[in-house]
Structure 1
Amino acid sequence: MTAHPLTDVFEEHRPLLMDVAYRMLGRVADAEDVVQDAWLRWSRADRDEVRAPRAYLVRVTTRLAIDRLRQVRARGEAYVGPWLPEPYVTEFGDTVPDTAERAVLAESVSLAVLVVLETLSPPERAVFVLREAFGYPYAEIAALLDRGEAAVRQLAGRARRHVEERRTRYEADPARRRDLTERFLAAAAGGDLAGLMSLLAPDVRLVGDSGGKAKTPVRVLHTADKVGRFLIGAARKDGPGLTLRYVETNAGLAILALAGDRPDALFQLDVVGGRITTVYIIRNPDKLRSLADR
């Protein structure tokens, strides 16, 4: 059976729409809902009015994501402990062949950058994502958001300064990140505190996100000594009952810990200058559901 042309066009652009929605929201389920809503708009659209399907779909998705982000913030729900974005499986494959473009896309979806993006207003976040992650011209962003180009440039400048002031430097070399991740896992799982400490920057941070639904530190841990001792203690207590595997999430190698076939925790590292500067641990079960089949 041949697919309907409407479906063919939408499916062609679905990966892009999902990438935009996730960077806007930091939540996989919300991004999927936004893309589904975009499909409903697309299926009802007047074909004579849609001369550029890609532009139309990105515009609809961005506006829906802005609305969803405003709704989430308006609810003002309290979150127990540090908040991290939901892990997002990223496999660029052959669709992004250019190394420089891969680096830009990778940084824009990293946990460190997404945490900073949470502090932007919805319009600032939309402009930053479209401009910095996907390289849209200011004029095109202005058309997508129904704003003047001067206003869009202002939003972009304000968002860029905000992000630059708060984000950490990014180790773009995947080979170096993989090497540090593999050595980190070997040291932690083997109870090698000295080996682990040699990988951690002196001012390393450990950020744990459980949403109050699992055990992680309720505050960010600082210093190599505290982080190293916590990780070794956790590995001794919980490690024997877990199966560990590597997955690629947020454009970086991560360690997925499984209890049976259930995702129990995801570990991902920020690496700068050959040292681990941040250890992220996600244990909120609601955020790990999308990794169940990995």
Structure 2
Amino acid sequence: MSAHAEDPATEVFVAHRNLIFTVAYEMLGSAADAEDVLQETWLRWADVDPDRVRDERAYLVRITTRLSLNRLRSLKRRRESYVGSWLPEPLLTAPDMTENVELAESVSMAMMLVLETLSPTERAVFVLREAFDVDYGEIAAAVGKSTAAVHQIARRARRHVEARRPRGTVSPEEARAAMEAFQRAVDTRDLQGFLDVLAPDVVLLGDGGGVKKAAIHPVVGAEKVFRMMMGGIGTVGAALTSEPTVVNGNPGLVIRLDGELDTVVAARIDDGRITGLYAVRNPAKLTHFTEENPITLR
């Protein structure tokens, strides 16, 4: 898919590429599947005469939504048989993205997990309306429902998400401070350091995909999380290093073993303390965590 200045269709697609990828990722929780949808959207768009399209952004979003919905329904079935906890595929994003609070929250690991609890249609409606500000008529055309039905679905999805999303907005500075304290506790293996930064009822979810060792079930409680993490580190038998990163627009942590990427850690932070830890170890989900993903809501 190379860009040629004389090709209007290519110019339009390239101009909206990052938006299309972001829509697909928020729908699917997988960078690999979002890339596939991106390619399929291009193939559909390449057969369209751009001069006959009134709103190019809306048209591309509509194609992307339909393709993502079809894929999401099959992914839902596969995820039901996934070994252990299923976590979204983490994205390496630019450091300055943490300053865009709206974008960072919409693709945060915590929000992506909340979106997983919606039905495919509810997820599509919520994402398009709340994240991308698509009007109800366009959403109706994308999901194959009436406008009245989309209004009802949107209200239901919004109530569901509001009951489960992080309790308040966390400033980038607060999030960085919490993750820096967490990194220090990991590096020093200091129990008190963990207890200071983790909420008493913190939940650790680990995703090894049946390939890498990870907790099969959620681990609840600061001391239990400490024992689980330190027990794993103590049996590694390799040089472990950690470094700060930006995961899905929010401060996170990369853990390497003998210099090789092993785990990407994201967090949910409420009132200055970590209430959720998401540790992705499945190698298949870390293949895209090598270069920054340019994502956007507009």
TM-score, normalised with respect to structure 2: 0.89
Which residue of the partner structure matches residue 195 of structure 1? Answer: 193
How many aligned residue pairs are there? 289
Q: How far apart, CA to CA, are the structure 1 residues paired with 2:79 and 2:258?
A: 35
Which residue of the partner structure matches residue 281 of structure 1? Answer: 279
Structure 1 residues 40-55: aligned runs within 5 Å = 40-55=43-58
Report SS of the residue matched to 2:251.
Answer: strand
C-alpha deviations, 1:135-188, integer Å up to 9, x for none? 222233224434322111011011111222233325431111111101111111
Which residue of the partner structure matches residue 260 of structure 2? Answer: 262
Inter-CA distance 173–289: structure 2 relative to 1 (3 Å threshold)? same
Structure 1 residue identity aligned to 2:103: L
Conserved 8 A contact 2:204-2:276:
yes
Q: Gapped runs of 5+ residues in structure 2?
A: 293-298
Which residue of the partner structure matches residue 126 of structure 1? Answer: 124
Inter-CA distance 176–290: structure 2 relative to 1 (3 Å threshold)? same
Inter-CA distance 173–93: structure 2 relative to 1 (3 Å threshold)? closer
Which residue of the partner structure matches residue 30 of structure 1? Answer: 33
Conserved 8 A contact 1:66-1:123:
yes
Q: Does 1:5 align with 2:8?
A: yes
Q: How far apart, CA to CA, are the structure 2 residues paired with 1:41 and 1:52?
A: 16
Structure 1 residue identity aligned to 2:18: P
Report SS of the residue matched to 2:39.
Answer: helix
Conserved 8 A contact 2:183-2:242:
no
Stretch moving more, 132-141 or 67-76: 67-76
Structure 1 residues 238-257: aligned runs within 5 Å = 238=236, 241-257=239-255
Q: Does 1:226 align with 2:220?
A: no
Structure 1 residues 43-82: aligned runs within 5 Å = 43-75=46-78, 78-82=81-85
Structure 2 residue identity aligned to 1:190: T
Quote the offset at 1:260 in angstroms.
4.5
Stretch moving more, 161-170 or 81-90: 161-170
Structure 1 residue identity aligned to 2:264: L
Q: How far apart, CA to CA, are the structure 2 residues paired with 1:163 and 1:264?
A: 31
Which residue of the partner structure matches residue 148 of structure 1? Answer: 146
Quote the offset at 1:79 in angstroms.
0.7
Which residue of the partner structure matches residue 23 of structure 2? Answer: 20
Q: What is the root-mean-square deviation in Å for CA atoms of aligned residues? A: 2.3
C-alpha deviations, 1:237-265, integer Å up to 9, x for none? 43851332222121111111223553210
Structure 2 residue identity aligned to 1:277: T
Which residue of the partner structure matches residue 39 of structure 1? Answer: 42
State which of 247, 260, 270 in structure 2 corresponds to 1:272: 270
Q: How far apart, CA to CA, are the structure 2 residues paired with 1:281 and 1:93?
A: 23
Q: How far apart, CA to CA, are the structure 1 residues paired with 2:192 and 2:75?
A: 43
Quote the offset at 1:63 in angstroms.
0.6
Structure 1 residue identity aligned to 2:236: D
C-alpha deviations, 1:256-294, integer Å up to 9, x for none? 122355321011121111111111111011101111457
Quote the offset at 1:207 in angstroms.
0.8
Conserved 8 A contact 1:189-1:235:
no
Higher relative contact order (CA 8 A, sep 6+): 2
Quote the offset at 1:70 in angstroms.
1.4
Instruction: Flag as ranges the 4+ runs of structure 1 deviating above 6 A.
Output: none
C-alpha deviations, 1:64-85, integer Å up to 9, x for none? 0001111223456511111110
Structure 1 residues 106-121: aligned runs within 5 Å = 106-121=104-119
Conserved 8 A contact 1:263-1:291:
no
Identity %: 47
Report SS of the residue matched to 1:256.
Answer: strand
Structure 2 residue identity aligned to 1:89: L
Q: Gapped runs of 5+ residues in structure 1?
A: none
Q: How far apart, CA to CA, are the structure 1 residues paired with 2:258 and 2:8?
A: 42
Report SS of the residue matched to 1:267.
Answer: strand
Which residue of the partner structure matches residue 91 of structure 2? Answer: 88
Quote the offset at 1:43 in angstroms.
0.6
